[in-house]
Structure 1
């Protein structure tokens, strides 16, 4: 998505687009399409940056995705909200890790380890 388009979207539209990206990432991982996953990652980051730049840092709006049925969507939302809602975001990462659902559980475990050892600092 182009930055100009993101600037014109309402927060709820960004949240919906964010969820759709997570669903597509999940499928890309399942199908072994890493280049597609990476392109989607860039789109996901652009949405996070747009939300962060808005007054009051609107990344909190992504917390509505904590209960989303897709594991990748929940993982993305938890990671994106670590800076604005650290306790609930960490709890969600712990739940995903405990689920053992690959590869999202592995990603959650790596994020938790990086948080604990200080190599990952949410911004």
Structure 2
């Protein structure tokens, strides 16, 4: 798959995750989480670490896609990713705003260290 195809797949998975969250479909969400992790690993393994391509999704209409794009690009674009997480937190859009807030707190406390 090309980087653009991987980014499109990432977004598709993110939208599906959002529906799984809203429907309280934990098993489905977990499967989608694993699929997204595989996409991120593929991007990370590309020459130059192509996770930067996730920044293209910062203006995606779906909040879950933006949240996951920001979280998964923290290691390669920490300032931009942090700004996106702050914006999601400030939106008060549940449940993503809460997740963004906890991610920021974990970063600030040194609990979460992006790699």
Give the TM-score range, shorter chain. over 0.9
User: For residues 35 and 52 of structure 1, what CA distance do their matches in structure 2 show?
Assistant: 26
Q: 4+ residue runs of structure 1 moved beyond 3 angstroms?
A: none
The count of aligned residue pairs is 115
TM-score w.r.t. length of structure 2: 0.99
The match for 1:54 is: 46
Q: How far off its partner does 1:101 sit?
A: 0.5
* Structure 1: runs of 5 or more not aligned: 1-8
* Structure 2: runs of 5 or more not aligned: none
Tell me the C-alpha RMSD between the 2 structures. 0.4
The match for 1:6 is: none
TM-score w.r.t. length of structure 1: 0.93
Matches within 5 A, 1:13-52: 13-52=5-44
User: For residues 31 and 92 of structure 1, what CA distance do their matches in structure 2 show?
Assistant: 25
